[in-house]
Every structure is written in C-alpha cells, then in structure tokens.
Amino acid sequence: MLAERADRREHLLRDVFLQDIYAIPGGEKIKECIQCGTCSASCPTSYAMDYTPREVIAAFRAGLLDRVLKSNTIWLCASCYYCTVRCPSGIKLTDIMYELKRLAIEFDLAQEGAKAPVVSKLFVDNVNKNGRVSEAGLVSKFLLKTNPLGILKMVPRAIKLLIRGRMQLIPHRIEGIAEVEKCLAAAASLGLHPGPSEE
C-alpha cells in the first residue's frame, strides 16, 4: 500500500516535473545528460549537497525524484549558472533547480527546518503585497520564523546599516499594485505551470 502510494506520487512528480521542464525552451535537453559531472564540479556548493547536481539527473532517471526533493541539494543552489554554461549537453541545470524548488514547495517535501523555502515564501508574499521587497521586513520576518534568537544577533548589524542609511524600515507599496495583482491572478487562472509548447 505504502509502496504503491509512493509510486503514485513519484509518477505525479515526474509528470509535473517533465511538463514544466519541457516548457522551458531547450528543456528537453535533460534527456541528453551523459553523467559527466561537469555540473557538480562547477558548482560552488556541491560539496555540501546531499546529492550532487549530476546525481539529481541520475535520480530523476531512476525514478527517485522525491529523494532529491527532500534533500538539501536544491536549496543550496545559488543560481550562479556555472553548470548551465559549461554543461556539454546544453542542459539548463539552474532552471531545473528552480523547478525542483517549486515542486518541493508545492508538494510540501522540503526538509524540516530548511530555511530557503521560508525565505522564498516571505519574499513572494512581500512582493505580492507591495510590488517590491523591503529588506528589513523580510529579514526580521524570516528570523522570527526560523530563529527568533537570531534577531538579537542581527540587531548590531541592523543598527549599523540603519545609521549608514542603508536600510529602509517602512515598506514602499507601488501605485500599480492593483495591476500586479490582476496579472498574478490571471497567471494563477492560466495554470500553475505554463505547459509545453503545442504543435
């Protein structure tokens, strides 16, 4: 039973993953991975990852996507695009990492205590509400959620930044926020995933 359910979820994950990846121009290149490891060795953070970027594709091939989604790998991607520009098969690894992050959030698979999804969600809320990000708001909310004590540690730095005029306390809301809201609502109605090119 359990195995069956896991199997079903893997299928679902795989379907959504492929649909989204193929929607990226050149996304189908993921099929051409030759497992050479250029991505892993180009990655500045792979040493800290549970699975190297190369293994992410290997896991996808082996039908073990959910293992990757639960790992710390995707949250350590710093979007530096080194893997993407060096990949000899033209695979857009960074975009794949973004997609995996989205999947992990959507299917609620992110590791317990992983901070990155929290930041991303706060960031999105912030932007959706104001159209822009307020750094101070973001940081303080983040710390409240993940590490309330950390706020105390941050105070001296924040004060320094404030004194130097480098931090804005009151968030600015853009005038066209209604416009933004309409666009985003329309996007939601158009489906979460852009879907593959037809024809």
Alpha-carbon span 24 to 195, nearest angstrom = 9
Tokens of 24: 């990226």
Q: How far is the CB of 69 from another protein (least distance, A)?
A: 13
Q: In this chain, which of 120, 136, 140, 171 binds another protein, going by CB under 8 A?
A: 120
Contact between residue 88 and residue 38 where contact means Cβ atoms under 8 Å apart: yes
Interface positions, 131-160, toward another protein (CB under 8 A)? 131-133, 139, 142, 157, 160
Would you state the structure tokens that stand for residue 90, as one six-digit string?
A: 């033209």
Structure tokens at 23: 């929607």
Complex with another protein: residue 8 or 160, whichever CB lies closer: 160
Stretch that binds another protein, among 9-17, 28-36, 62-70 (CB under 8 A): 28-36
Alpha carbon distance 32, 88 (integer Å)? 10
- Shortest gap between Cβ of 61 and another protein (angstroms)? 14
108 makes contact with another protein (CB under 8 A):
no
Member of 30, 54, 96, 141 binding another protein (CB under 8 A): 54
Report the residue from 12, 35, 61, 152 that binds another protein according to the rule CB under 8 A.
35
Under the binding rule (CB under 8 A), the answer on residue 60 touching another protein is no
Whole-angstrom distance, CA of residue 123 vs CA of residue 108: 18
CB nearer to another protein: pick between 67 and 101? 101
> Binding of another protein at residue 186 (CB under 8 A)?
yes
Nearest to another protein of 12, 80 (CB atom): 80
Q: Based on the shown chain and the rule CB under 8 A, indicate whether residue 55 belongs to the binding site for another protein.
A: yes
End-to-end CA distance of the chain: 39
Enumerate residues 6+ apart whose C-beta is below 8 A from 83.
Answer: 38, 39, 42, 43, 53, 93, 94
Q: Which is nearer to another protein, 66 or 73 (CB)?
A: 73
Residue 47 CB-half CA count within 13 A = 1
| Contact call for residue 73 and another protein (CB under 8 A) | no
Which DSSP letter does residue 111 get?
P
22 binds another protein (CB under 8 A): no
